[in-house]
Amino acid sequence: MASDVKSVPRILRALDEQGVETAGLGPVGVRPKLGDYLRELWGRRHFIWMDSRHRLATKNTRNRLGNVWLVLRPILDAALYFVVFGLIITGARGGVENFAAYVVIGVLMFQSTMRSISQGPGIIRGGAAMIRAFSFPRASLPISTEIRDALQMRFTLPVVLIMIMVIPPHEMPGLAWLLVAPILLLQTVLNLGVSFLMARIGFVVPDTAQLMGVVGRFLMYGSGVIFPVERFLERFDNPWIDLVVLANPIYHMLKMYREVLIDNEVPALNSWLVFGAWAFALLIVGFLVFWQGEATYGDDR
């Protein structure tokens, strides 16, 4: 491969001497330089945007209710967890006054990040036909997936807000609710970093996809999605467990959403710093890890 790449300039010079137009030509199956890769990604931004919108629009076309499921599904999910953990297993409430809002926010906002974790390992294989047919930066696939998820959140977030206002004890909008926007933006950054990382791992180790269900349940119970995890930290009284939970970006993300929407308070600076650091660190590391494997994504494995 290295010798083939080194011979490219010689081949291009020979073509130029014969009067063949070589502008834009380059070797296939070679990872481009990072700067060139980023410029090429930016050049494909319209394709990425249109692909994301098209896939979301056609996601439920085979169902009778069509895109109504984009609203109905989160309502049913939140209702299910509230019935199980709020009405049947009443001990899970942990002293939370507005447990309905607590569960609705936790379940529906966590689902976005969970989709990045569970679907990430299959992104490259899911786009195999496109990869074989077209030449484009493969990072377009995780980006398109996360843009599609962000567009889907346009339906999920209003469901969250309406449900916590309608279900007693009725959380009413306040100025702090405006902070949902930057928290959601940080969550999207976090999701994209996770998607990049999981796409590379899932391509190298296909069995990763089989473990994501277990990982998702671990994160659900360890991040306070459906019950206050602080209650169980007091029971264990172990500083190492405390450290793991308090360093968990999903825990801080949900805590921030609840402080804004239920308590109508500005989240503490510590939560912003931890969540923001995780989001941008995962984005940078995930993108670089994904870019490192760019030349291999067309391989049949």
In whole angstroms, what is the distance from residue 210 CA to residue 190 CA? 22
Retrieve residue 233's tokens.
């930290």
Neighbours of 222 (CB within 10 A): 16
How do the domains of the chain map onto residue ranges? 44-294
pLDDT of residue 22: 47
In whole angstroms, what is the distance from residue 111 CA to residue 75 CA? 12
pLDDT of residue 226: 83
pLDDT of residue 72: 79
In whole angstroms, what is the distance from residue 235 CA to residue 230 CA? 9
Q: Within 13 Å of residue 290, how many CA atoms lie on the same side as its CB?
A: 28
Q: Are 271 and 179 in contact (CB under 8 A)?
A: no
pLDDT of residue 176: 95
Rg (CA), the chain: 23
Retrieve residue 45's tokens.
């931004």
Q: What is the DSSP letter of 61?
A: T
pLDDT of residue 70: 74
Provide the H-helix boundaries in the chain.
Answer: 2-6, 8-17, 34-43, 45-57, 69-82, 99-119, 123-126, 128-133, 140-166, 180-204, 208-222, 230-236, 239-246, 249-261, 269-292
Reported pTM: 0.83
In whole angstroms, what is the distance from residue 180 CA to residue 231 CA? 25
Q: pLDDT (tens digit, 0 to 9) for every residue of the chain, 301 residues total?
A: 444 444 445 654 665 566 555 455 555 556 788 999 999 999 989 989 988 888 777 776 666 666 677 777 777 877 777 777 666 655 556 667 888 889 889 988 998 999 999 989 999 988 888 887 777 889 999 999 999 999 888 888 988 998 889 888 888 999 999 999 999 999 999 999 999 999 999 999 988 888 888 888 888 888 888 878 776 666 666 677 777 778 889 999 999 999 999 999 999 999 999 999 999 999 999 999 999 998 888 765 5
